[in-house]
Amino acid sequence: MNPLIPFLKVSNEFPRFYWKGRGSTTACVGYRHSISSPITFQAQAFHENSCGGIWSTFPKEWSFSPEHIISADFEHATVTPILPQCICRKDTPTYEKWWRMVTDATEKIEKGEFRKVVLARQTTLTFDATVDPLELLKGLMSFGSTTSLFMVQLDKETAFIGASPEKLFKRLERKIYTEALAGTISKLEKWSPKEFEEVNAVRLFLLNQLQTCCHDLQCGSPEERPFGDYKHLYQRYEGVLKSKISDKILIEKLHPTPATGGLEAAAMEYLRNIEPIFRGWYTGPIGLISEKETDLSVAIRSMLVRGNEIHLFSGAGIVKGSQPLKEWEELDRKIEHVLRWSYE
């Protein structure tokens, strides 16, 4: 087991974060704020009005510069979390409401109002006792080789946790690396035009945005990326940043991507009006920022733990030809590992 978990078990330092970037062999914990820290852990809401409801104690933007950082080699492990008994599941929206939302979105896509929109669902699991966030973090260690693992813990019973396969961007000095990631199918399924349409929307967005802030922009070849029993479509981009482009400007240009919101402003406005949940930090940027290196992921495959509840978030890209039932099944696939832990 990762040696940082025992440290977190006995520590009473809050707030704090855990971070292991995708592709990194090192994990770290940061705690106790300091204005002189050389690095900052940053998390941000999906949009400025996202932190209502269950997210009311979370700011729309959180920057935490730790006085103390403890790091260790990341050790891949498969551990089943020890959770209390799950006594209730509630989906928001319900399937009936979801069917109406997807039908309405596809009708607007057919009319040409926008090309793609990503609709989200919140699945709330209620347990008969308080849930330990660190148990869930231990469970996510099995995804550590293909994801960024993160946890922001505000207090002993409140934490935002996830294992994201998607980078927003990584910057090394003036070199930037980012990617188009979209589509979710099982390892046994074959790709359909629907998934290619999803990733093409992200590719188009990235090209348009990166051309305004990069020199020497290069694109990799399309490929598959694994996530547990599933896979995504992936394409890598890299370039050299123009002189006046900062991390803040990059975040503004790349967030939200069409993989989490929509390709056009009309799609984002549609989301604000139709989604019945507060996304909070789900689908927002999260990660480490410093002068020499910045590593930010998109906070998908994530959950909010509050006392005896786990709020799971999942989204599905709606494009021409999307079917409500298949999209609902995709939402379940994205959270099935936590559902399995909760009902074992």
Residue 322 pLDDT > 80 = yes
- pLDDT value at position 147? 93
Q: What is the pLDDT of residue 132?
A: 96
Q: How far from the centroid of its chain's Cα atoms is residue 68's Cα?
A: 25
Of how many residues is the chain composed? 344
Looking at the chain, the whole-number percentage of residues with pLDDT higher than 90 is 75
Copy the structure tokens of residue 128.
């008969």
**Average pLDDT of the chain, as a whole number:** 93
> Is residue 1 predicted with pLDDT exceeding 60?
no
**Which residues are known catalytic residues?**
116, 166
How far, rounded to the nearest angstrom, does the alpha carbon of residue 92 sit from its chain's CA centroid? 18
Residues 337, 161: Cα–Cα separation, whole Å: 14
d(CA 178, CA 198): 17
Per-residue pLDDT tens digits for 277-287: 999 999 999 99
User: Is residue 99 helix, strand or coil?
Assistant: helix
Mean of the pLDDT values across residues 108-123?
A: 95
Summarize pLDDT for 41-64 with one digit per residue, the tens. Answer: 999 999 999 999 999 999 999 999
CB 43 within 8 A of CB 152: yes
Residue type for position 263: L
Q: How far apart are CA 101 and CA 275, in angstroms?
A: 9
Over residues 127-142, the pLDDT tens digits come to: 999 999 999 999 999 9
- Counting Cα atoms < 13 Å in the Cβ hemisphere of 291 gives 2
Residue 118 has pLDDT above 90, yes or no: yes
pLDDT tens sequence across 147-186 = 999 999 999 999 999 999 999 999 999 999 999 887 778 8
CA 189 to chain centre: 23
What is the C-alpha separation between 144 and 205, in angstroms, rounded?
28
Of 334, 304, 339, 306, residue with least CA distance to 151: 304
Residue bearing tokens 């926008």? 114
pLDDT tens-digit profile of 222-234? Answer: 888 877 777 888 8
Question: Would you state the pLDDT for residue 186?
Answer: 83
